[in-house]
A = this chain, B = another copy of it.
Amino acid sequence: MKRRELLTAAGLGLGAVALSGCKDDAAIAADQSGQPEQRFRWKMVTSWPKNLPGLGTTAEHFAQTVTALSNGRLSVQVFAAGELVPALEVFDAVSSGTAELGHSAAYYWKGKSAAAPFFTAVPFGMNAQETNAWLYEGGGLELWQQAYAGMGVLPLPCGNTGVQMAGWFNREINSLDDLRGLKIRMPGFGGEVLARAGATTVNLPGSEIFSALQNGVIDATDWVSPYNDLAFGLHQAARYYYYPGWQEPSAVLELTINQQAFDQLPADLQLIVRQAARSTNQMMLDEYTRRNADALRTLVEEHGVQLRRLPDDVLARLRELSLQVLEETANADSLNRQVLDSMEAFREKVWAYHAISEQSLYGLRG
């Protein structure tokens, strides 16, 4: 009510009719708290090249959705990696308020919170549907928010790739021996697991993968899945395309919000941010489900890519090592332990249901 009171209290001698008209408009313009509406212009920094298909475009989709839903009251401008801050400084930029929003992946912020990687991808863990259910209905999102609360950052899921691929390899993997000495690009828990299996793991930004693989700097790499991998031309740099993506059965993209900026939004704009994140989450999975299917066909039928399944004994050993890595990570920190226990309890019960529903029907597909 402040602005209206100010205007009327100023006693400017407005005629009754004009005042009444003015008050009506002011009432429409006021939000439920009675404050006059404000316009907000927010910056969103990302870890992606400008409009990179699937990742940069998802960030753009979110920004455009918020701007349109709010009819411009909250407009969001997207900055590609390096435009405002480098790819891996998104979290710091949001925490400090340099930008109000960030779009990236939590596993990059392991140095900020040891629990962060759990919120991107867990080897041999839940798929996208299960992860979404854990985050929104199983307490996962509360734990994620707790992980960042001390840094003034509010995270929300904002996109999911679905199951990824195991990666591109320049030599065949027929046994555990073939992993020893393999130079492979793989971030997150997956990289730690492969290191324990004897590989030499490196982390490279997406933009450097192709040339490193082509020049033999690395023997193998993960990236995402057919949609993104085809766009990077990785089939021109490696012979074998391995599945399944044990290291990322679901990969969650992360919206980070500066908590202080969020607190200043009226309730409807806060809800617009939350809802746009949730509908973007659904949109990206829909898009990846379709485009991965298209791109796999293109890779196999047009480019003659050799699909290979990782051998059972290799997968079994990677699974053992994954459990070790997850347990040790959980033991290092009480929040990590809470997160892993929460995920595992949820996973166990949802897998029991999916065994007789999703998995049972998959089994009939032949």
Do the beta carbons of B132 and A289 come within 8 Å of each other? yes
Bound CA–CA A22/B6 (angstroms): 12
Asked if A49 CB lies within 8 Å of chain B CBs, one says no
Do the beta carbons of A133 and B289 come within 8 Å of each other? yes
Asked if A217 CB lies within 8 Å of chain B CBs, one says no
Asked if A341 CB lies within 8 Å of chain B CBs, one says no
CB neighbours of A357 from chain B (8 A): 162-165, 225, 243-245, 292
Do the beta carbons of A29 and B32 come within 8 Å of each other? no
Interface size of A by CB at 8 A reads 93
Do the beta carbons of A32 and B137 come within 8 Å of each other? no
Please encode chain A, from 278 to 320, with 1 for each CB lying within 8 Å of some chain B CB and 0 for all others: 1101110111011111101100000000010100000100010
Dominant SS at the A interface? helix
Copies in the complex: 2
Do the beta carbons of B289 and A350 come within 8 Å of each other? yes
Asked if A88 CB lies within 8 Å of chain B CBs, one says no
Contact of A364 among B22, B244, B275, B286 (CB under 8 A): B244
Do the beta carbons of A285 and B361 come within 8 Å of each other? no
* Residues 240 to 299 of chain A near chain B (Cβ within 8 Å): 243-246, 249, 266-268, 271-272, 275-276, 278-279, 281-283, 285-287, 289-294, 296-297
Spell out A's residues near B (CB within 8 Å): 3, 7, 10, 12-15, 17-18, 21-22, 25-26, 28-29, 31-32, 36-37, 39, 65, 68-72, 124, 127-130, 132-138, 162-165, 225-226, 243-246, 249, 266-268, 271-272, 275-276, 278-279, 281-283, 285-287, 289-294, 296-297, 307, 309, 315, 319, 346, 349-362, 364-365
